[in-house]
Every structure is written in structure tokens, then in C-alpha cells.
Structure 1
Amino acid sequence: MDTESLLAAFNARNKNTLMETLDIEYVAIGDDFLTAKMPVSPKVHQPYGQLHGGATAALAETVGSAASNFFIDNKNQFINGIQLSINHIKSKREGIVYATAKNIHKGKSTHLWEVTIVDENDNLISVAKMTNIVLAKK
């Protein structure tokens, strides 16, 4: 499947999910990474008008979980996130943030991802590490 079709398929799965609520969209894919974007607007603000850390964490977990799907047998296996650690570096009030998950470890039962979140000017917003477990479908 070509890159555009793969991104379209992943984006189609977002309907009626948190990803649709937060306007998260997958925008780039490569051999060892997946990137998604999310607009920063009052919809994802905390009360002080800044990007909510929970929304940023949701973006990080979304892209980290989705990326693991490229390394499993989707007919017989599925992914669950089991750990997310995130550090928020800089606040953001408006614009767009991009989360890129890069694989650190790809094992048979666990995957470890580093997720870097930057804004449209390539300013570092947050950095996360995410661990996924590979489980058998029943």
C-alpha cells in the first residue's frame, strides 16, 4: 500500500474517537516513524489558555500506539499502550503541534517509542516515551 493510502486508512479509523474530537490527523509515515498533527485552539486548552498537557499526552499516545501497528500481524495481534511518560518543555496557545513517534525497541512482545512534539516553527513542546504490549486476538 502506498504512503497516501496508508495515511488515509489510518485517518479513516479516527471517526467517532478521541482522535476525531481532538482533530488529530496522521500526516507522514516512514520506515521507522509516524507523524500526526493536532491544531491548538480553545478546544484543547487548559483554563489558562495554553495547550493542555492531557491533550498533548493523548496526541503522543495516539501516534505511538498507531506506529506499533506497522510491526505486528494485525489479523492475529493488537496493541495496547502500557506506559506513557511525558515531559512538557514549552507552552503553546495557538497554531499546530506535530508528534513524531520513532522506534527505539521493536520486540516480539513490547515496543518502545520516543515521541517528539514540536510546533509549526519546530520549537520543542514536549517529549514522551511510550511502551506498547503486543497481544494476541482471541
Structure 2
Amino acid sequence: MDTTTILKAFNNRSKNTLMETLDIEYVAVGDDFLTAKMPVNSSVHQPYGQLHGGATAALAESVGSAASNFFIDGKTQFVNGIQLSINHIKSKEEGFVFATARNIHKGRTTHLWEVKIVDENDHLISVAKMTNIVLNKK
């Protein structure tokens, strides 16, 4: 499957979800990564006019969870996030942030991801570590 088809499928699955509410869009995919972008505006600000850490965490978890789908059989398995740890390095008031998930561990039942969030100038905004569990569909 080509990258355009993969990205379109991920973006279509985001309809009527938190990802759509936050305007998260999957924009790049490769052999070892998945990247999504999110606009930074008043809809994702905390009261001081800066990017809300919860919105950043939602972005990190969205891209980390989606990336695990490359390593499972979607017909018989699904993925749930079970742990997210995030450090916020720099504030952001407007523009875009980009989250890129790269796999650290790919086991049969758990996947561990590092998610780096940068802005459009490649300044580091946040770093997250996410653990997913692979479960069998009933």
C-alpha cells in the first residue's frame, strides 16, 4: 500500500473522534515512523494563551496508537494505549506542531513508542513515551 493510501485511511478513521475535534491530520509515514500535525490556536490553548499540555498529550497518544496498527492484524487484533508519559519542553502560542512516533520495542503483546513533538521551525515542544497493548478481538 502506498503512503498516500495509508495516510488517507488513517485520516478517514479520525472522523467523528477527538482527532477530528483537535484537527489532527496524519501527514507522513515511513518504514519506521508516523507523523501527524495539529494546529495551535485558541481551540487548543490553556487559559494563558499557550498550547494546552492535554492537547499535546492527545496528539502524542493519537499518533503512537495509530502507529501500532502497522504491526498488528487488524482483522483479529486491536490496540489500546496503556501508559503515556510526556515532558513539555517549550510553550507554543500559534502555528503548528508535528508529532512523530518511532518504535522502541515491538513485542507480540506490547509496543513502546517515542513521540517527539516539534513546531514548524523544528523546535522541540514535547517528548512522550507511549506503551500500547495488543489485544485480540472477540
Tell me the secondary structure at the aligned position of residue 112 of structure 1.
strand
Q: How many residues align?
A: 138
- Seq. identity, %: 83
- The runs of 4+ residues in structure 1 deviating greater than 4 Å are none
Instruction: Report the counterpart of residue 105 of structure 2 in structure 1.
Output: 105
| AA in 2 matched with 1:122 | D
Tell me the secondary structure at the aligned position of residue 5 of structure 2.
helix
State the 1:136 CA deviation.
Answer: 0.2
State the 1:104 CA deviation.
Answer: 0.1
Question: Structure 1: where are the runs of 5+ without partners?
Answer: none
| AA in 1 matched with 2:83 | Q
Given the two structures, how large is their TM-score scaled by the length of structure 1?
1.00
Instruction: Report the counterpart of residue 76 of structure 1 in structure 2.
Output: 76
Tell me the secondary structure at the aligned position of residue 70 of structure 2.
helix
State the 1:50 CA deviation.
Answer: 0.2
Instruction: Report the counterpart of residue 123 of structure 1 in structure 2.
Output: 123
Structure 2 Cα separation of the partners of residues 62 and 95 of structure 1: 19
Given the two structures, how large is their TM-score scaled by the length of structure 2?
1.00
State the 1:107 CA deviation.
Answer: 0.2
Structure 1 Cα separation of the partners of residues 126 and 89 of structure 2: 5
State the 1:59 CA deviation.
Answer: 0.1
RMSD, aligned CA = 0.3
Structure 2 Cα separation of the partners of residues 114 and 47 of structure 1: 28
Structure 2 Cα separation of the partners of residues 79 and 32 of structure 1: 18
State the 1:133 CA deviation.
Answer: 0.2
- CA deviation map 1:30-52 (0-9, x unaligned): 11100000000000000000000
- CA deviation map 1:67-91 (0-9, x unaligned): 0000001000000000000000000
- Find out whether 1:38 has 2:58 as its counterpart: no
- CA deviation map 1:45-68 (0-9, x unaligned): 000000000000000000000000
Structural mapping, 1:1-138, within 5 Å: 1-138=1-138
